[in-house]
Structure 1
């Protein structure tokens, strides 16, 4: 099995794009893809040069020369969309020429040779709203390049080539590279590197801890082998089934490792405690399996349910992650009850006797047995104190839960001192923002208007009673249905040259004038009134805290119109559609005429507002979106105009919200299912309730800590929800099932608890320590999700273990008449 499934791993295909968290047919993703295609948008890598040390900042001949060289180098990198590259070295300075004319000249085609010339570049940028605080900071301390790329999955390679080249440039200051595509692609690459480091490190730590408890490297090799078998088989199944290894599925080994060994530790623990020199290992193993089979079955079922429930989330990679973890859990259970016993009885007598001697010495001299026995004797006698403490903890935790803030940002997945995190802070301090969100305003003409126009023109042409005109109309009327007014007017002009009847010509010229008027009206975003709405909306958006600036076709029109008139006071929208059209036509004479189509479509029915944000956090983006929605309530969109959101930053908000809500539904749904399973397996409603108590307290405590500590509820926390449910119920099941079995043997709750705090409590405690301490190597990873998994795995295990050992004895004692039916 391992060979067959392991061979499938060679077919691995990696997908590090968080955008694929959403299904391809998700409405938000469809809009995003449509906007990118409609306006020719690309994802951007942002490179910044910052110099805070001198008054001149970056605007010196040396630094601007470096920018020129960097721009030339970037144009040669495969995967860069060269025509849309934005740099001080390849954009226009827009100036007035002769009276009523405009001049476009390169802002900095060549490196300036003097400080004054360098400073004049900054002054020119300040005069261009589209570029100010985007390509150059207001204080002149920073300059930036916006590098569009053909695909996000090439950003790591491209940024690496740029980073390598930057080291060869002579500058005063520091270069920084940032942007969401870089952050996401870099995280994907580094995540796989960390997986290759952290998973073996965690395995090594678990191995060492189990050796400390069982003092037999041969014995503990069994669960380690089994864990690797489970991981290899699960990943082989995933890859062999044709799934790409996504950010989520790449974490399967980290999640499966503790789950795979958790039942094995119970088996090894009881076997080590029971086996004595001269015993038949087969007999001992049968006794151990007789005690542990049911609780292991229960815990495997509940853990599998917890992860399989992720299939109901609306996030495809999470569905794949959950279902394959569930498969891994089922496989781990199968191997636990077959491979582990077979391995143990295959060990030679000398190895087993040496292990038994060392473990026996450890039990008599070790602190854990004494501590657990002490806890066992005190727990029941301190009932009031324990119940009071639990009430206080749960109450405080519930308050903490109310303080949880749902927030995420892929850039924050890196450690504080990571290059990308540092670059993000520096660049968003100096510029209007490196996070882009787009607002598309779309005008849909009314169908009835088109029908009425066609009817009116048709009646006018039919009244001419001219066969040539009638045939022409029959061939060209469809152009009006498709709003192809320019084509219709051209065809009508051709017809006019073939006719000589004055009455017919006069009537056709009237039709031409009517269609021309409609053509002007159809170019919706050439109308000053409609442009004024965009302008007003932009000013409101720019008033939001997280917004650095916004750009649209309005800013372009205002700038060109100001220079055409030569009057600073004319930085405004022209008063007529014809004047707007003339302004835009003038811009077409620039070196970058196609930049216009990044803001408006050629038919002027769709317009785009670019919003630059200084933060990509969910909370900040959602606050800005909510503010716009509130604005639209009091300032409704014009008739037949709709507004859509797009941009990678907005897409991240969508999938993260879907994940959080999906995980919450999954957690609640699986909680109910696990409760039902507990009732069925224990064949008792009350025992089912009891089994859920440690789980409920643990989940409440974990989320309370998250809220009280100020830790954002993000993607890693959401994913850990399933692990919380699966591992938290594990200890309770073992404790309750063993308690019931022991009580049947002795009939005394006191003796049952005394026995429970011997081998069973040791097994539970060992398990908690092995897993919680075994994943401490994750704390050394430079990626925050790995740190989060390491910390919360430890907390989950320790808290659920403590609650099971301290609360369940109290509840069993208080409810013994109901639970054990004592008369």
Structure 2
């Protein structure tokens, strides 16, 4: 099959070249239509329940994603509470409000909120906290004193030590965050103060990552390609020959990305890394082919005949290595994460393209090369093979292979110890992710994240929504009790039934129950002025009943409900689970204090729902009355607790959930109150959990499929299991080391598991297939191994070196996913090559009667 296909390709090479160019041009033309998506929320399907709820909560409470701007002054004795710093803060706030894409109405800053203080008992003044830039230290001190009296601002808008101030900038859309941050930096540059400014927050981290991701892709992929080119040039000593795999890799990457973009998929964080992944995959098989060709071709040989022989030998290994790699990535289709599914599907397509081009373009290209170019390559490689680096490499490999056979017990014992240690390391792996940590620690966003979360309550947010249920039951009970009153009135001769039924029917509909009852109470109250005193007694009973039901329907106007919320907040803050929590309870306590006395002892909840209502009514006179609806719905049946976290790690968010569950178990909420979660930090926890479960299923399913493929390829259960050894040991070793060094299992690591499945088995396929072919020729397993440690082992080593060295430049990237890819690629290639070249010979020597029962072995 391989020889016939090779002959056809070499005979029709113009058609091959034309088809390849056409594919690249047609699919490459789609790339300018690229649409970028860096929103981690899209790691979940649009209809995923937690994501739907998150969007619902944001809409319900008018919440926005926030950029956090921090201003720090460690030099001045008063920190940021000096005239110059506060003036800069004021002007920066006014400038940010004018930036397109900023929701200025909801911006939070000391220069955009009210100072709440008592004017007289029962009266509150709502004046701007910073109405104008302060001109004197006394004015700055007044602002500091005011902030200290307002717990909702402490730790949020100003650090408790007074050295920092924060501006929470709500944005209309997360994909505008990077631009908005850049405009804010431009404003900061013109302020003329020495204060340090930092910008962070999940939306700007995500959007900035998207921008830098593509900048890095434009640097890393070509740089990796250049290094691979130079390493291959070192091995093959022929520019024309080395150009072939590079053209193949470029065609594969362009075609795959073009198809992805052309079919309407957005380029997510995951799919942006497709070129990095495809580069080694596309090059691996072609390097095997060219390595064998270079080792076999000599001046005067017919290149077509040599290529035919090479492809005839390598057709099966090339085919099956591509198929196993494709299966590894196709397994990602089983994950519940859409961007990961897209990534896996299109990588699988790229693997298929690389396979087809390896089997067609490489022979056609080789046949099109001038004979003199091939002769020069052969002369150089022959000279190198006699006394150069290639000769030394082959001698080392042969010696190493013999030592592995001779000391097979030691090798296999060491391998067993390695696996045991790796299993222990795997047990230490912690699942954790944080999009901010996708930047290196030296990046501005990471520095800002560290500085601001040390000084403030937290730049990460989560929302705990509380809901009052049982509104239908409350309405039903109200109607039953009202009908009893009406029946009593009718029995006494007062015909109020028709009028009551008319009033009740007029206020039925889709409006919240509390609003309907409020309007009903108003109409009954008006009615009392038109009926006689005896009938009014019954209407007054109905009015009391309606007003009581109205109060019951507004659960989060009840002091008991607010007290339970305050207790939950205090529990979370005292336990160090969060930096701070804000809710309706805090707002009501603050207003109540100023209404009563303005003294600290009156910072408490009113004793009655009427007192809560009075506090909230007073707040409607402030400059920002709409802030109330960020904490409660207008019908007071649902409330929102804003949790500020100083860490966006999933582990920390998970501990918050556990702390809330523990508190609720010991302190059940008021009857009928249910709760659920929203917020970007919580959504990150959800998709990370689903990804881990999905990746585990994908890894296991791919492992089983590849095992079955190996059994089918070698038509032997034992040899198929042998081929899985490098894969198993490589995955165990890499993840074991990851656990031992404390590297978290995050999104990039999870996805790289699919790469380890595909690449780790490649070398084993080539090694075992060539060993079987040698066995068929010589019949002796020792001689067969000697042959494998000549040409095939050198090809395997070249391949491992080419890929491992080629992607080490990724370690210098400022984005941690690229660093992770570089480390994993180098580790996968190195580990799988070492296990293939030394553990497989030892195992074959130990178990050859079972693996190759018809083979002989002198001195075995």
| TM-score, with length taken from structure 2 | 0.94
Q: How far is 1:508 from its partner? A: 2.8
Alignment of 1:563 onto 2:594: yes
Q: Note the 1:180-329 alignment, pairs <5 A.
A: 180-329=202-351
Aligned to 2:569: 538
Which of 425, 432, 440 is the matching residue for 1:415?
440
Structure 2: gaps of 5 or more residues: 1-22, 856-860
Q: Note the 1:590-739 alignment, pairs <5 A.
A: 590-739=622-771
Which of 127, 144, 147 is the matching residue for 1:125?
147
Distance in 1 (CA, whole Å) between partners of 2:224 and 2:808 is 7
Q: How far is 1:488 from its partner? A: 2.4
Q: Note if contact 1:130-1:555 (Cα within 8 Å) is conserved in structure 2.
A: yes
Per mean C-alpha deviation after superposition, the further-off stretch among 229-238 and 798-807 is: 229-238
Q: How far is 1:376 from its partner? A: 2.2
Which of 98, 101, 114 is the matching residue for 2:120?
98
Aligned to 2:400: 375
Q: Note if contact 2:485-2:541 (Cα within 8 Å) is conserved in structure 1.
A: no
In the TM superposition, what whole-angstrom CA distance separates every residue of 1:479-526 from its partner, at most 9, and x where no partner exists?
A: 5995121232344456566x5455544433322221111111111011
Distance in 2 (CA, whole Å) between partners of 1:488 and 1:344 is 89
Aligned to 1:8: 30
Q: Note if contact 1:479-1:487 (Cα within 8 Å) is conserved in structure 2.
A: no
Per mean C-alpha deviation after superposition, the further-off stretch among 698-707 and 111-120 is: 111-120
Q: Note if contact 1:437-1:650 (Cα within 8 Å) is conserved in structure 2.
A: yes
Q: Note the 1:34-113 alignment, pairs <5 A.
A: 34-113=56-135
Q: Note if contact 2:39-2:207 (Cα within 8 Å) is conserved in structure 1.
A: yes
Q: Secondary structure at the match of 2:161?
A: coil
Q: Secondary structure at the match of 1:246?
A: coil
In the TM superposition, what whole-angstrom CA distance separates every residue of 1:122-173 from its partner, at most 9, and x where no partner exists?
A: 1211110100111111111111111111111111000000011101112232
Q: How far is 1:767 from its partner? A: 0.6
Q: Note if contact 2:711-2:719 (Cα within 8 Å) is conserved in structure 1.
A: yes
Distance in 2 (CA, whole Å) between partners of 1:480 and 1:338 is 68
How has the CA–CA distance of structure 1 residues 428 and 466 changed in structure 2, closer, same or farther, with 3 Å as cutoff? closer
Q: How far is 1:119 from its partner? A: 2.0
Aligned to 2:481: 456
Distance in 1 (CA, whole Å) between partners of 2:319 and 2:821 is 26
Q: Secondary structure at the match of 2:120?
A: coil
Q: Note if contact 1:57-1:142 (Cα within 8 Å) is conserved in structure 2.
A: yes
Aligned to 1:30: 52
Which of 444, 448, 454 is the matching residue for 1:429?
454
Q: Note if contact 1:461-1:469 (Cα within 8 Å) is conserved in structure 2.
A: no
Q: How far is 1:395 from its partner? A: 1.4
Aligned to 1:396: 421
Alignment of 1:807 onto 2:842: no
Q: Secondary structure at the match of 1:245?
A: coil
Distance in 2 (CA, whole Å) between partners of 1:471 and 1:716 is 64
Q: Note if contact 1:438-1:610 (Cα within 8 Å) is conserved in structure 2.
A: yes
Alignment of 1:445 onto 2:470: yes
Aligned to 1:164: 186
Q: How far is 1:791 from its partner? A: 1.0
Distance in 2 (CA, whole Å) between partners of 1:449 and 1:506 is 24
Q: CA RMSD in A?
A: 1.6
Q: Secondary structure at the match of 1:103?
A: strand
Q: Secondary structure at the match of 1:135?
A: coil
Q: How far is 1:473 from its partner? A: 4.1
Distance in 2 (CA, whole Å) between partners of 1:391 and 1:419 is 45
Aligned to 1:472: 502
Q: Note if contact 1:48-1:142 (Cα within 8 Å) is conserved in structure 2.
A: yes
How has the CA–CA distance of structure 1 residues 334 and 49 changed in structure 2, closer, same or farther, with 3 Å as cutoff? same
Distance in 1 (CA, whole Å) between partners of 2:347 and 2:26 is 19
Q: Secondary structure at the match of 2:74?
A: coil
Structure 1: gaps of 5 or more residues: none
Which of 801, 804, 823 is the matching residue for 1:769?
801
Aligned pairs, how many? 822
Per mean C-alpha deviation after superposition, the further-off stretch among 480-489 and 566-575 is: 480-489
Q: Secondary structure at the match of 1:97?
A: strand
Q: How far is 1:783 from its partner? A: 0.6
How has the CA–CA distance of structure 1 residues 629 and 466 changed in structure 2, closer, same or farther, with 3 Å as cutoff? closer
Which of 517, 520, 523 is the matching residue for 2:548?
517
In the TM superposition, what whole-angstrom CA distance separates every residue of 1:406-430 from its partner, at most 9, and x where no partner exists?
A: 1111111111111000001110111
Q: Secondary structure at the match of 1:637?
A: coil
